[in-house]
Amino acid sequence: MARNPMLILVNPWIHDFAAYDLWSKPMGLLMLASVLRGQGYELRLVDCLDVHHPDMQRYKNLHAPKRRDFGTGKFWKQIISKPEPLKPIDRPYSRYGIHPDIFRQELEKAPRPDAILVTSLMTYWYPGVFETISIAKEIHPDVPVILGGIYARLCTKHAREKSGAHYIVDSASPDSLLNLLKQLGPEAHPPSAPSFHPYPAFDLLRRLEYICILASTGCPYRCRYCASDFLFPAFHQRDPEEVFPEIVYWYQNYGIKDFAFYDDALLVGAEKHFIPLMEEVVKTGIRVRFHTPNAIHIRVVSKGIAHLMKKAGFQTIRIGLETADFDLRRKLDNKISQGEFERGVQNLLKAGFHPSQIGAYILVGLPGQSVESVLDTINFVEANDIMPYLAEYSPLPHTDLWEEAINASEYDIQNEPLFHNNTLLPCWDESKRARMPELKRKVREVRERLVACSTQNLFVDAH
């Protein structure tokens, strides 16, 4: 039988002012890898964000990234020159990930592929994607390069005109890519008896510290600042009977203890999804830890759900509060009504979570938002005894708030995705941006106080 085609899958670098590995894995690419493997394609994955690449040790001038609890931590980084539009910003800019020489070696090591697939994430990270594509074309000049992922979907025209990729896939469905690969040939032959698990292909990564789980795609809410609706127009929840074996698979075969839910709406419809899933976890007694970096909807956190979360092993709980300014909120979303946040947080605290395990994301830099509104929200979170986390707003095409963002911004966000960078607070003016250090200081103080309290309580509990 003819050989199966071989593909190189690339998770590109991040070029930014700051980046942190908060359970960051290329989930879309790994899901696609699973589908491609099932179709018979042979795969090589090159992860430019690989924190554990052994060859990085030879760069003595680079500091090894500090890793923290539960598999999170820093990436390798090298300071690079800023792209022209960001030159006026007085902050260092870095390439996060492995050294370009190592990337070249990884590409050279692989036999000549039939195509190279590059994913993308934040719109303003496109320079890292372009650098990846350019090197891939240099090493394999006659191989088609296909770009997909979130940047390619949100800024398709920009990607078509500027990325250098031969093809752009702007659909969430793997079918468009499979059709394109068929046209490019050669044809893949699905194995008669699949030898791989059906889950996202985390096993292609070098060293697994945690697994990301997607128990649903999309979100039934339609918050005006969020692109979930565009990226996943339908809200789809997987059967808990499918999700549970996935957790057990990684736990039993790879010894994974930490699982980060990537869901946008993990707790929606909890009776039929989250509750049976977690009851199964508790019943079987597997000792795992769960994290919710994408935030949960606090309005759904009843006493029962809070206790179940505690029993099942949740460690890191993030809540999408965004703002406690209900006049502003009415213009943005309807995911929390007054009183729901306080009630849900109390349920979590009473279930036994430490305040330092629960954090509320607060959006900063929205069009029309005042600094005082953010300060009030920080105070509100502090009054509820949990940790505030600032989430700087990044304006995104295809969101409902996009036109307002364009009107509010001094930057040309319409034509230059680099200006979507949340570090710039692109929809605030200079006078508001100047108060960002004050907001960050305030948040830091609240968090330090709560961590100190938790440590004290732990000390008292232990005695």
CB of 401: closest distance to ligand SF4 in angstroms? 11
Provide the edge-to-edge strand list for the sheet that holds 93-96. 14-16, 93-96, 77-80
**Which H/E stretch holds residue 320?**
strand 314-322
Q: Which residue lies nearer to ligand SF4 by CB, 222 or 441? A: 222
CB of 394: closest distance to ligand SF4 in angstroms? 12
Using an 8 Å Cβ cutoff, are 123 and 417 in contact?
Answer: yes
Q: Which residue lies nearer to ligand SF4 by CB, 95 or 291? A: 291
CB of 211: closest distance to ligand SF4 in angstroms? 21
- Cα–Cα nearest to 370, from 443, 428, 419, 409: 428
CB of 400: closest distance to ligand SF4 in angstroms? 10
Handedness of CA 454, 455, 456, 457 (dihedral sign): positive
**262-275 CB burial, b ≥16 within 10 A, e <16:** bbbbbbbebeebbb
Q: Which residue lies nearer to ligand SF4 by CB, 284 or 334? A: 334
Helices (H), 255-298: 274-284
Binding residues for ligand SF4 (CB under 6 A): 219, 221-223, 226, 228, 264-265, 320, 333, 335
CB of 103: closest distance to ligand SF4 in angstroms? 32
Q: What is the DSSP string of 233-251?
A: -S-EE--HHHHHHHHHHHH
Tell me how far apart the alpha carbons of residues 355 and 454 are, in angstroms, rounded to a whole number.
7
CB of 165: closest distance to ligand SF4 in angstroms? 28
Q: Which residue lies nearer to ligand SF4 by CB, 85 or 269? A: 269
Tell me how far apart the alpha carbons of residues 250 and 244 are, in angstroms, rounded to a whole number.
10
Using an 8 Å Cβ cutoff, are 200 and 31 in contact?
Answer: yes
CB of 219: closest distance to ligand SF4 in angstroms? 3
Q: What is the DSSP string of 102-154?
A: HHHHHHHHSPPPSEEEE---SGGGHHHHHHHHHHHHHHSTTS-EEE-SHHHHH
CB of 358: closest distance to ligand SF4 in angstroms? 17
Q: Which residue lies nearer to ligand SF4 by CB, 106 or 392? A: 392
Residue 135 identity: I
Q: Which residue lies nearer to ligand SF4 by CB, 154 or 201? A: 154
Close Cβ partners of 378 (under 8 Å, ≥ 6 residues apart): 362, 388, 439, 442, 443, 446
Q: Which residue lies nearer to ligand SF4 by CB, 211 or 226? A: 226
- Residue 29's SS3 state is helix
CB of 379: closest distance to ligand SF4 in angstroms? 22
Tell me how far apart the alpha carbons of residues 337 and 81 are, in angstroms, rounded to a whole number.
45
CB of 325: closest distance to ligand SF4 in angstroms? 16
Q: Which residue lies nearer to ligand SF4 by CB, 42 or 400? A: 400
Q: How far is CA 428 from the centre of its chain?
A: 24
- Residue 190's SS3 state is coil
Q: Which residue lies nearer to ligand SF4 by CB, 250 or 361? A: 361
Q: Which residue lies nearer to ligand SF4 by CB, 206 or 222? A: 222
**84 burial class (0-12, 13-18, 19+ CB within 10 angstroms)?**
exposed
**307 burial class (0-12, 13-18, 19+ CB within 10 angstroms)?**
middle
Using an 8 Å Cβ cutoff, are 317 and 285 in contact?
Answer: no
CB of 231: closest distance to ligand SF4 in angstroms? 10
CB of 415: closest distance to ligand SF4 in angstroms? 25
Q: Which residue lies nearer to ligand SF4 by CB, 231 or 277? A: 231
Q: Which residue lies nearer to ligand SF4 by CB, 158 or 297? A: 297
- Residue 460's SS3 state is helix
Residue 121 identity: L
